[in-house]
Structure formats: C-alpha cells, structure tokens
Chain A
Amino acid sequence: MIQYLIRRILYAVPLLIGVNILTFVLFFVVNSPDDMARMHLGQKHVTAEAVTKWKQERGYDLPLFRNDQAGGIKQFTETIFYQKSVGLFLFRFGRADNGEDIGADISQRMWPSLAIAAPSLLVGLLVHISLALMLVFFRMTYLEFWGVALCVAMMSISSLFYIIGGQFVMGKLLQLTPISGYDLGWNALKFLVLPVIISVIAGIGSGVRWYRTLFLEEVEKDYVRTARAKGLSETYVLFTHVLKNAMIPILTGVVVVLPLLFIGSLITESFFSIPGLGSYTIDAINKQDFAIVRAMVFLGSALYILGLLLTDISYTLVDPRVRLN
C-alpha cells in the first residue's frame, strides 16, 4: 500500500512540472512582460521608462531562464522562471498587481467557496441519486419515459437561466431569500440556501441521466436476476444490491472533484457575489491580473491531480477486487 502510494505521488510530480511549464510558457514566453506592462499602462503613449518601472515593481525585469550578469547558482535563481514558477510548487504565489499577497487571499477566500460547493455537492448527490433510482424502479413505464424526457429538456437549458430564473422567482417575487450577498459565520446560512438549491436543480438533467445509466447497467447483470429469482422484492434488490455496486463508479466520480470544491464555481459565485475563489478569479480576469490567473491555474491543476490520487486510493478501499499494483 505504502509503496503504491509513493509511486502514485511520484507520478504526480511530472504532471505538476508539466502544468508549471505550460503556464510559464503561456504567461511569459508567448507574451513577454513588456506586453503585459503595455497592456496595463494603456496601449498608446507608453514610455519605455514606465514599462521598465512597472516590470521592476513586479520583478518581471529579470531574464527568462538564465541570468548572465549574476554568478554561480544565481545564474539560475535570479530569473523569472525560478522566481515566478518554481515558487508555485511550494504554494508561494507572490503578489497580485495591487500588491496584495495572493496566498493570503486564497487561504481566506477558499472557505466561502467551500461553503457553497460542499452542500451543493452533497445535496445534489442525494437528490440526483434518489431521482435516478426512482426512474429505474419505474422502468418500462410512462413515468420513466417522461422523466427521461424532462431530464433531456432540463439539460438543454443553460445554467445561466437557472440562476437568473431562481434569483427572480425566489429572491424577487417570493422574497424568500436574499438575491445575493454573503456574511460571516452562521449568518451566511440564509445566503447559501438559494445558490445551493439552484445548483442542485441545474444539475438534475445531466446528473439523473448519468446515474440512471449506471444503475441500468447494474440492473441487467446476472447477480441482480439471481436476487430477484430468489424472491427478493424489487425495492430490496435496488437498494441493497444495485445501489451498493453502482456506488463504486459514483464514489470515484465524487472523489475526483472533492479537492476542487475549494476552487468554487466562477458563475455561481459571481452571480451571488460570494467572496470565494471563483469570483476572485473572475475579478482577476476582468482586471487582467496575470499573476492571480496564473496562481489559480496552478492551484486548480494541483488540486485536480490530488483528486486523481485520491480516486486511485478510494478505488482500492471501496472495491476489494481492485489490487494495488
């Protein structure tokens, strides 16, 4: 087990390096720091001094890979690559364009993101799986046909409409919940209800359809037929046999996204003005703050790779048939 874990972790290292190099190339080679400076300072009428000053303030005035002016090891450390990219491995994100520490911002803003994303995931799982089980229970009936049709229709609606519609009905017409906003501590609860409900409803179409296919695949297997032949009731078979065996793909699908819950959702957070990482990223995109976007790209990838790692481990925990090697 330990050996397997170590090998999996070692496998993640080249992936992280790959992501790091890719972001470096995207942000510093395709676009030189000069371009960034000019974009920030306004396209026209930019003096060379202003560009130099802008670069110096942010530490972009170093050479990309090799510093010929420095000696010894400094030849490699006094470069943009070392200063800006290698630090990401240690989660040193550096400073944003307005001088704030990105790392501190992230550690503060990830909690609101989690407060939205975690309940959405849990409630969503519960609702989607129960609905899917119901469809499977009533298979070959009109209820299934119309249920699936409704799922396809719900899938065809853009998530933006769910949010706008939900805000309009719940927030404006019925005035049950605040339209948007956030608060600290338990006061946040009333702001969380609407986004969670909306994200669960928006996911019904694709979620229920996906779980339904998983269940249907199991339902046709021999052991289920045996169980039914023994005289077990359909509900018993569904809940104990089918659900338990379909749990393996469901669980592994969930584990992958667990670390990504911290990142939050760009759209939800900006619609409900929740001060999480999603809205942080959107603000950065709108302000064209390259440093934040770069940090978020790396953080997101690192968390995804962590998710893959967890998935592999969870496989072996859930399904005893899977051997570690």
Chain B
Amino acid sequence: MIFFWTDTLFFILLLMLATAIIRTRSKEHLRRPWRKVARSKSAMVSLTVLIFYFGFAILDSIHFHPPEGQANEGKFKTEAISLLDWWASPLRLNTEKTYSAPFAIYGFARETIIGEDGVTRRAYPRLIHGGAHLTDANEKYLDILRTGMEGLLKGLLAWSVLAASLILIRAKSIKMAFVPCTMEITEGRTDVPWRAVLLTLLLLLLTSFALGELSLKYHVFGTDKVGEDVFFQSLKSIRTGLLIGTLTTFITLPLALALGILAGYFRGWVDDIIQYIYTTLNSIPGVLLIAASMLLMQAYMARHEDEFASLALRADFRLLFLCMILGLTSWTGLCRLLRAETLKLRELEYVQAARALGVHQSTILLRHILPNVFHLVLISVALDFSSLVLAEAVLSYVNIGVDPTTESWGNMINSARLEMAREPVVWWSLSAAFVFMFALVLAANLFADAVRDAFDPRRAE
C-alpha cells in the first residue's frame, strides 16, 4: 500500500464525515433538518448519484505497487496503481495508436497498409483492441446488442440483490415483514423516497454494467489522441474532481471558522485586523491569485526537483497545492457570514448568561457559538462543492490547474477542444467529459439546494 498526500487527506476527510454522521444520529435536534433533506426526492436521488461517484473516487484512492509479473507494461512499470486501475486493467492497457470513434473497429485515420498480396494501399486499419474479437465486421451491431444485453442483465441481477438487501435491512429496522415493506416502497408510501432511490440505483447499475461489459470489447467513448480509452479517463477524472471539491475544505473551514468567530465575538481591534485580512485577500481577483501561486509553485518544484522523484508524486503535490490555493481564495465569503452571525449570537441571552456566570471565553466560543453557526458552514460547503468542480475545468484550461499528466475533465476538454475543427469532428472526449461532469455537478447542486432549504432558518416552515 502506498499513500499519496491526497489519498491520506481524502481518507481523513471521509473518516471525519463518518464520525459526524454517527454523532448526528444520536442527537435529535441535529437529526431534524437531515430528516427534511431525506424526505426530498431530488436530494435523495442526487445523494445516490453522489455516493456512486464517491465509490469510484475511493477505489481510485487506494494505491499500491502492482505485484511482479502482473500485466503492467511500458511507461507504467514503476508507478503505483490504484485499485481502480487494477480493476479496469483491460481498459487501461488496451490503448490504440491514435483517435478512434466510440464502438469503432477501424481506425480514425487512413494508414498505409501492406495487404496479404503484398500491395500497399491507403485504408483504415483495424483497431488493435476495439472489436478485435470480431472476424466479420458486419457482426458488430449484433455483437454490441448481445454484449449490451448481457451487461444489462448482470446489472439487473446486481440491482435485485442490492435492492433486496436494502429492503431487508429496512424491514428489519422497522419490524415489518419483507413483502408489505416492499409493497410500501413500490407504492411510494414511505417517508423517505425509497422508490426514487432504488430506481436511480437501477439506472446507475444498468448503465454502468452495460458500459463495463461493452468496454471490455470496444472503446465505448472512443480513444484520444494517444489512443487511451476515453471511458477510462473519465472514470479516473472522478477522483480529481471530487478531491478538488472536498479537500479544499481543509483550508477554508479552519480559517473561516476561527477568524470569523473570533472577529464577531471579540469585535474591536481583532475584528479590524481580521476584516482587513479578508478584504485584502478578497480584493485580489481569484484567478489571478491562483495563477500567481501556481507559477510560484512551479518554481518551487523546479528548485526542489529531487524531492519529487516520480511523476505521480509531482502530479499529486500539484493537485494538493491547487486545493490549498483554491481554499485560500474561497474562505473569505464564509468568514464574512460567520462573523455577522456571531455578532448576532453574542448578544443573545444564553451567551450573555454564560458570560455572567463566568464561563470561560473559550468554552463559550466552542460550546455556545460554534454549534450554532455550523449550519452556515454546512450550507456553504455544499454550495461551494459544485463551483469548485467547475473551476477545475476552467483552471486546467488556462494551464494553472492540475498537472497535465493527471486525468481530469479539464484536461480532457483542453486536449479535445482543438479537435472540433477536424473533419470529421472528434466529439467523443468532449461528450464524455460533459456527461460525467454534468451528472456530478447537477447532483451536487440539487443536493446543496436541499441542504440549504433544510438548514437555513429563514426558509424553515
């Protein structure tokens, strides 16, 4: 096992999330808003999609050195691979020479081929892996249909097992027999929209199993310029996108919480200094600050070349640094909100009473103020997530995003955008990045809306 910096931080974050969930379960007043989220159909559907994405990110965050003799050739020889890489080895290693369209079995560009009769001619060559098992090219559509159906069936099977076990757990926990519990869900009479969740799950499993099955024989989203499978790239990009959306909180939360609460609670010169700091930072346009910092980081890496021995280490450090910089530029908004809220809270009776009783300052801050501003933190983290995922794409386009060797949707768009001028158009990289990004960001947006509706006291019924 190898832990990159981002892996470690990501798992720490997940661990913190898990503790937070366990703690929330035991406290009634914390559970109430979440119950409201759980009743919302769009929120639960989005949550299912988000969990699905997170599953891929977790798989892609467990790195290890491949065992000796494993199929791991060429440029990847010394690099650590992740569980996802290992699992999707056929996708990772089945590279073509250059572009090929989705489900193609012939190459995208004409090549000079020496025929069996020794005559050279210009023709589209057969792909090395895409549909290589076919002897007759005309069988392609039938084969795609058959393989697709096979995948769908497997997906259906997996879903039935999963759905049955979920229903069983639910039936156990509310002490109900299995059949009436199923009836309740299928008729949509449950409080939590289980039917919608199960249907989403069905859709996700069907598509992923069908795509998975097909991708063993074809390149379902085609291949890119150097012949790598675009479907595999999109899967790998999930981790990058999610990391940028989540690791940033390691910087924003401590800064915004500490400074915002201190400024609001102590007022006076503390407030002045903190306000000055965040106004100054805020007045620098974000993109420019990020650009400047990334330039500096490149210079730093160039100076300490021996510390970043492998390509993967460099890329990982750059990803981490990008998260930190994005965090540094995005904590000011939350800090301002927290300051304003603390200013209000400190005048309330219960805080005044605590002060009159001689409760220590730090105790007041930690026990009376902090828990009561936390809904703001939650809302802002949820709302920021999607904009961070989108920001990654834009920054990668300007070359101040993640390392060019890191798979990310931004890099995919960036390398594919020039190919729109080609004839015929190379559209698959863009479409794949679009679909994957859109699903994630839409789910995140919908979920964030539900969280805001549930936690914002102004929107409470």
Q: Chain A residues in contact with chain B, CB under 8 A?
A: 14-15, 18-19, 22-23, 26-27, 30-31, 35-36, 38-39, 43, 152-153, 155-161, 164, 167-168, 172, 260, 263, 266-267, 270, 281-282, 285-286, 288, 290, 293-294, 296-297, 300-301, 304-305, 308
B399: which A residues are within 8 A, CB to CB? 285-286
B394: which A residues are within 8 A, CB to CB? 158-160, 267
| With A158-B393, A270-B398: A26-B279 Cβ-Cβ less than 8 Å | no
B442 and A164 within 8 A (CB):
no
B445 and A297 within 8 A (CB):
no
B276 and A18 within 8 A (CB):
yes
B446 and A285 within 8 A (CB):
no
Interface residue tally for chain B (C-beta within 8 Å)? 47
The CA-CA distance from A152 to B43 in the complex, in Å, is 13
A297 and B292 within 8 A (CB):
yes
The CA-CA distance from A57 to B205 in the complex, in Å, is 63
- Chain B residues numbered 263-322 whose CB sits less than 8 Å from any CB in chain A: 276, 279-285, 287-289, 291-296, 298-300, 302-303, 305
The CA-CA distance from A153 to B446 in the complex, in Å, is 9
The CA-CA distance from A18 to B438 in the complex, in Å, is 39
Minimal beta-carbon separation of A302 from chain B (angstroms): 8
Chain A minimum-CB-distance residue to B414: A160
B438: which A residues are within 8 A, CB to CB? 156-157
Judge if B417 is at the interface, Cβ distance under 8 Å: yes
* Beyond A285-B294, A297-B284, 16 extra complex contacts between A and B, CB < 8 Å: A18-B276, A22-B280, A22-B281, A38-B302, A152-B442, A152-B449, A157-B438, A158-B394, A158-B413, A159-B390, A260-B285, A266-B287, A285-B295, A285-B398, A285-B399, A308-B283
A35 and B434 within 8 A (CB):
no
16 contacts between A and B (CB under 8 A): A19-B284, A23-B292, A39-B298, A43-B305, A152-B445, A153-B442, A158-B393, A159-B390, A160-B393, A161-B430, A164-B413, A294-B292, A296-B288, A297-B288, A304-B282, A304-B285
B305 and A161 within 8 A (CB):
no
B281: which A residues are within 8 A, CB to CB? 22
The CA-CA distance from A18 to B278 in the complex, in Å, is 11
B283: which A residues are within 8 A, CB to CB? 15, 19, 301, 304-305, 308
B287: which A residues are within 8 A, CB to CB? 266
The CA-CA distance from A266 to B400 in the complex, in Å, is 12
Judge if B437 is at the interface, Cβ distance under 8 Å: yes
A31 and B300 within 8 A (CB):
yes
B434 and A22 within 8 A (CB):
no
The CA-CA distance from A270 to B291 in the complex, in Å, is 15
One of A35, A286, A293, A305 near B288 (C-beta < 8 A): A293
The CA-CA distance from A288 to B446 in the complex, in Å, is 39
Chain A minimum-CB-distance residue to B396: A160
The CA-CA distance from A306 to B444 in the complex, in Å, is 35
B390 and A158 within 8 A (CB):
yes
Chain A minimum-CB-distance residue to B305: A43
B425: which A residues are within 8 A, CB to CB? 168
One of A39, A263, A270 near B299 (C-beta < 8 A): A39
| With A152-B445, A153-B442: A282-B398 Cβ-Cβ less than 8 Å | yes
B296: which A residues are within 8 A, CB to CB? 26-27, 30-31
In this complex, which of B284, B288, B413 has the most chain A Cβ atoms within 10 angstroms of its Cβ? Answer: B288
A18: which B residues are within 8 A, CB to CB? 276, 280
B445 and A164 within 8 A (CB):
no
The CA-CA distance from A263 to B285 in the complex, in Å, is 10
Chain B minimum-CB-distance residue to A18: B280
The CA-CA distance from A297 to B289 in the complex, in Å, is 7
B303: which A residues are within 8 A, CB to CB? 35, 38
Chain B minimum-CB-distance residue to A305: B283
One of A31, A167, A308 near B420 (C-beta < 8 A): A167
